[in-house]
Amino acid sequence: MALSSLSLTQFRNHEATRLQAGARFNVIWGDNGAGKTNILEAISLLAPGRGMRRAAIEQMARQQGPGGFTVAAALLGEDVRIGTGTASDSPSRRQVRVNGAAAAANNLADWLAVVWLTPAMDRLFLESAGGRRRFLDRLVLALHPAHARHAARYEAAMRERNRLLAAERPADPGWIDALEARMAEHGAAIALARADTLDALDLQIGALETGPFAQPSLALERKGPVEADALIAALRSGRSRDAAAGRALAGPHRDDLIVTMRQKGQAAALCSTGEQKAMLIAIILAHADLVAERRGSRLILLLDEVAAHLDPARRAALYEQLADRSGQVWMTGTDASLFDAVPLAGRADWCVSGGVVAAQARTISADQ
């Protein structure tokens, strides 16, 4: 799983960007606001979901453009081209194409698995469970491509049940039964995939050479039963409580990812910002190994401004760890010298300015 080329057309501040990707390392540098993260966000849209910024799709077309945008990529070593975007006459409807044919966004999980670290995730352990759940689900999705479909169907059934329970006129109980059965079926699949991912990941992290990176241990805090029958019973008995709350209070949509630093036995929220970042890095490195083992191919890592937040020793350790793995990595930073220690094999560098990308011949800075 890697991109051989990427094109952004009328996407954010990129009018027409075309990149021939490096098979291993893609280094993107430029000033603040240049359009670096926009490239990573574009790649994140080639997987199911709302992308790494979770932005509304109608915000993405270039404001100065004709409306509508396209992000497209060819996959390395495969005769496959995937793309997504909007048309100018329906800016809020996301379209997906695989080899030119219309496809459902969830089908993208069959082709590409993408995991990202962004500056916004520095607050992952401090904020509400939703962000941690989304992070976990992205890790799950890379191992269980059907996870996106289960999550979408679970959420659609839950939304409909919430609506019926809130309606002034009592709804047909048979219809609510059917929605709860659907929630239970997909909820059980979600729970199973999350449990499998966390168990495997926790083992993998134990085996990881983390070097200077803090080692996390992972667990799931559940807000409801796991098995389908028990979940149906909990939903049924909780109808009046859920109607009063205006939402379902039991179910995997309320799970939380609990991360603890192994060395100190300390909750991630109490660790330093650097330790939290290090644990996130350890999680995604272990996860990359797990995906390679299970799917036989490496996922794509998007590391937005990660290098700048590490001290030189940890930065070097990160590059070493990435070099030992074979997946494709896209990295951004404001200064080219941050990437001096990134191996040159399979590497491409770009400088971005005002949404215009220029390929860079690699130069070694004086202090290297």
Ligand X SMILES: Nc1ncnc2c1ncn2[C@@H]1O[C@H](COP(=O)(O)OP(=O)(O)OP(=O)(O)O)[C@@H](O)[C@H]1O
- For the bound state, the minimum distance from the C-beta of residue 291 to ligand X, rounded and expressed in Å, comes to 26
C-beta closer to ligand X: residue 81 or 309: 309
Q: Coil, strand or helix: which one is 31?
A: coil
Tell me the closest approach of the beta carbon of residue 15 to ligand X, in angstroms: 9
CB 325 within 8 A of CB 298: yes
Annotate 54-90 with b (16+ C-beta within 10 A) or e (fewer).
eeebeebbbeebeebbbbbbbbeeeeebbbbbbeeee
Q: Which of 28, 87, 98, 79 is nearest to 330 (CA)?
A: 28
Q: Nearest approach, Cβ of 27 to ligand X (angstroms)? A: 13
CB-CB contact of 308 with 122 (8 Å): no
Residue 228, annotated as binding a ligand: no
- Smallest gap from Cβ 302 to ligand X, in A, equals 12
C-alpha distances (whole Å) from 327 to each of 22, 115, 204, 303, 337 are 11, 12, 17, 13, 22
Specify the residue, 63 or 240, whose C-beta has the smaller distance to ligand X. Answer: 63
CB of 328 to ligand X, least distance (A): 19
Residue closer to ligand X (CB basis): 213 or 339: 339
Please compute, for residue 15, the number of CA atoms within 13 A of its CA located in the half-sphere on the CB side.
6
Q: Which of 14, 2, 9, 12 is nearest to 350 (CA)?
A: 14
Q: Of 164 and 352, which has the nearer Cβ to ligand X?
A: 352
Considering the complex, state which of residue 34 and residue 82 has its C-beta at the smaller distance from ligand X: 34
Q: Is 37 annotated as a binding residue?
A: yes
Hey, CA dihedral for 193, 197, 199, 200, is it positive or negative?
positive
Measured between alpha carbons, how far is 263 from 289 in angstroms, rounded to an integer? Answer: 22
Shortest approach of ligand X to residue 136 CB, angstroms?
Answer: 25
Tell me whether residue 223 is annotated as binding: no
Q: Of the two residues 55 and 219, which places its CB atom closer to ligand X in the complex?
A: 55
Q: Interhelix angle for 273-295 vs 312-324, to 10°?
A: 0
Residues that bind ligand X (CB under 6 A): 12-13, 30, 32-38, 59-63, 334
34 belongs to an annotated ligand binding site:
yes
In the bound state with ligand X, the residue whose beta carbon lies nearer, of 92 and 240, is 92
The answer to the question of whether 86 is labelled as a binding residue is no
Q: What's the min distance (Å) between Cβ of 55 and ligand X?
A: 8
Asked whether the CA dihedral 156, 157, 162, 164 is positive or negative, the reply is positive
Q: Which residues are annotated as a binding site for ATP?
A: 30-37
Q: Which residues are annotated as a binding site?
A: 30-37
